[in-house]
Amino acid sequence: MENFNVAIIGCGTVGSGVAKILLDMQNELSVRANQKIVLKSIVDIYPAKSAQTYNIPLNLFKGGGKDLSKEEASKYIDEVIADKSINLIVESIGGTSDFLLNKMLDTLKAKKHLVTANKAILAEQGKALFNSAKENNVCLGYEASVCGAIPIIKSIRESFAGDQVMEISGIMNGTSNYILSKMQEEGLDFATALKMAQEMGYAEADPTLDISGGDAGHKLAILIKLAFGTDVKYNDLMLTGIQKVGKEDLDFANEMGCTIKLICYARKIDGKIIATVKPMMVKYDNFLSKVSGATNCVQLVNKYSGTHYFIGKGAGSLETASSIVADIVFSARYNDRIQNITESDILQLVSSDNVEFAYNITFATVDYPGITGLVTTAIGEQHINIDTVSHNRHNKERAIFSVATMPCTLEQIKKAIAQIRLKAPSALIEEPKIIPILK
């Protein structure tokens, strides 16, 4: 049995998990790959700290186990890339720097397979990486980049090769889902729920990427490229975070038989793609409404096989590492027979403003007789059918109520709000909050 040698660059939370699995399961993985999978080298700036996590032998680390400067680490990475005996490199440094992109491209140009969980660089620079992998006939494995241990990439690429994905919706950020779950289940405000998420280790000290929708947007961009065969620019996605979700929103959602989730949504319609990441009210009879805590779940609607759900842990050292190791085994087993992702369609990404959705609109108004009627009349004048109107919550001279619509366009709603301002310029105390309803 031939050796299939692996190197890891960056041995933090994820990289150390990969090392542990490769060492613990070497025999089983080698049988599955039909080659002896050997962890040959690791490059990390703090090897002693990395080794301690899972008792990884220090002799595997470049530099003899001593801490490295950035310059030394760069030199050792170049050595690994130049080492003809190494078949595959695992990138787990993270980030989107030019330095990292160039090292990844150098790896592919050296005819080495590359496996990464780096969703950000794939979403922002994926085209260059995938093109290089194709040109050099090597594999770019990225199963771990979307939802950790959930095998969503392989399912779309392989299991649904005889079908066509029409719609993607899902909860792809565990931090945001944990925060919203705590707000809904325990009545916490956003700040308290965020602090709890940080204490539990689900949120970083700077949680901006998670709560702003950025992390989820990276994952959605990758899935759009895979499922719809077109390169959507991450910066072109419409992203709205959860920072402004308040208690009233959750109360109104509950009245309508919904919960609020940060939803990644993409749909192919009339040769175009609509895609967004934003808080949505999810009906209780939709399975996504039942996904709580830091769990991830992706829903695919296919043309022929219907609806499918993929649920599991979307992050974590060993969870993410297990997906990376699966890509290593796949690369070792199939080698030069690998089919990399390619663009099959050039579909235009269009605004969702003119696509029909059901919406919930929350109004904070001056509290005087007839205000609800004024608002609903303006909505009706835009040919929007109203589903329900909530109870009016009075707070001193302030009234808060919500209007749930039947499917309409965001453009219609914006015109209705403009009409309310025209008829009663001082009525709206705050900008109305518009949340799509996912049925």
What is the 8-class DSSP label of residue 212? Answer: T
3-state DSSP assignment of residue 400: strand
Determine which one of 20, 119, 219, 225 is catalytic.
Answer: 219
Q: Which helix (H) or strand (E) holds 6?
A: strand 3-9
Q: Beta-carbon neighbour count of residue 106 at 10 Å?
A: 17
Report strand pairing: 295-302 vs 165-171.
antiparallel
Output 57-61 pairs: Cβ under 8 A, ≥24 positions apart.
60/19, 61/11
For the CA atoms of 56, 60, 63, 65, the dihedral, rounded to the nearest 10 degrees, stands at 30
Question: DSSP letters of 82-110?
Answer: H-TTEEEEEE---S--HHHHHHHHHHHHT
The identity of residue 66, as a single letter, is K
Closest residue by Cα to residue 434 from 409, 194, 283, 367: 409
- Kindly tell me the number of DSSP H helices and DSSP E strands found in the chain: 15, 17
In terms of residues, how long is the chain? 439
- Please return the burial class of 342, using the count of CB atoms within 10 Å of its CB with bins 0-12, 13-18 and 19+: exposed
Cα distance between residue 17 and residue 321, in whole Å: 5
Q: Beta-carbon neighbour count of residue 99 at 10 Å?
A: 12
Cα distance between residue 143 and residue 18, in whole Å: 13
Handedness of CA 363, 365, 369, 375 (dihedral sign): negative
Q: Is 290 among the residues known to form the active site?
A: no
Q: Which residues are catalytic?
A: 219
